[in-house]
Amino acid sequence: MPVMNSETLAWISMGDLATQKIMFHFLINNCILANVADWSICNSTSELEPAAFALIPNCKPIGPLLANYRLGKSSGHFWPQEETCLEWLDQQPSQSVIYVAFGSFTIFNGTQFQELALGLELTNRPFLWVVRRDISTVKSTLPNMPEGFNNRVQNRGLVVSWAPQQKVLSHPSVACFLSHCGWNSTVEGVSNGVPFLCWPYFADQFFNQTYICDHWEVGLELEKDARGIIRKEEIENKLEQLLTDKSYRERALNLQAKTVASATKGCSHKNFNNFVDWIKENDNHSLAECSYSSWICRSSEKLADRDAQEERRGREDHPYGIFFLPASDRVGESNSLRDCLRENLHREDDEEKDEAVAFIE
């Protein structure tokens, strides 16, 4: 299991101190609830994280969970997808395109955005770059491209506001993935045998980078300069290294084979079937009667039993909570939650980021 850096623990990079405290308690609550859950399932595989699953044997991986395993069309997207980029990919040589996407939360100031654009230009390689409408630190404003950039790269670069990522990553013309290392993106990249250039932003993304670069060895990380900026030369050099050293692609393809096999006939497939069998054996109610409220009641009873045991041992109570989003209008609710988190993440705060704070009450 990769070593955790205390400077990049999940809550440390979460904006101001108040937001860090919320995230810290959220993680504590998750641990408490996991201890009373009948089952914990996750989008991973035992092949990707064997040491982690050895530490938490009650957590069962059922991944990779990919849209191409679904029947029908997925509708849960933050932005309208630009499917025309797939036609553009069809026109590019095999394993030639740099795919650049930073998920739904990452934002850039003007300086960093321009360095990224110039770095992509310096590679002289084709690229597909997802630039969300809200990617700027200035609300409702897209960062300016470097002067003359669009004209210089018009024959080899395509910029879109949102892309069908799983279709893009599975396209034969894609050579690598410049990514924020969110877990969904990580699983999607691994499942398609694509090497990574890592640009983590917050939360678990730094730990995911450690998996990618140090544990699986299917990617490289970028280094910031003294100002905290990733320079265009660094971007160009790391992309060149990633794309010329074929060992990264070879390891990525080997990892892909193991990961996909787990979902089709391996451990994840077995875990999922066991979970379905458990539901059939233990739930005597109709699906209509199997509600969130009944689940909360059962969980509350287990939590009460646990608290009583803790009290007998002379331990103090810990706060816990259960949070649900309503099933209706899930995309709208997710966007509201996302906007709230973004606002707190980027709030200017006078207190030093490196101040040591322990949020234990």
Query: Tell me: the pLDDT tens digits for 236-266?
Result: 999 999 999 999 999 999 999 999 888 888 8
Longest dimension (CA), the chain: 72
Greater confidence, 13 or 260? 260
Q: What is the mean pLDDT of residues 311-329?
A: 46
Instruction: Give the model's pLDDT for residue 359.
Output: 30
Q: How many CA atoms lie within 13 A of 161 on its CB side?
A: 9
Which CATH entry fits the domain spanning 68-264: 3.40.50.2000, 3.40.50.150, 3.40.50.720, 2.60.120.1310?
A: 3.40.50.2000
Decide: 15 and 345 in contact? Cβ < 8 Å.
yes
Question: Checking DSSP bridges between strand 219-221 and strand 196-198, what pairing results, if any?
Answer: parallel
Q: Write the pLDDT tens digit of every residue in 88-132.
A: 999 999 999 999 999 877 878 889 999 999 999 999 999 999 998
Decide: 32 and 320 in contact? Cβ < 8 Å.
yes
When mean pLDDT is compared over 3-17, 183-197, 281-295, the highest value belongs to 183-197
Flag whether pLDDT at 20 surpasses 50. yes
Q: What phi and psi values does residue 160 have, to the nearest 5 degrees?
A: -130, 160
> What CA–CA distance (Å, rounded) separates 105 from 79?
13
> What CA–CA distance (Å, rounded) separates 288 from 273?
22
Decide: 81 and 164 in contact? Cβ < 8 Å.
yes
Residue recorded with tokens 């730094």: 206
* Size of the chain, expressed as the number of residues it contains: 361
Per domain, the residue ranges of the chain are 11-42+288-345, 68-264
Instruction: Give the model's pLDDT for residue 8.
Output: 73
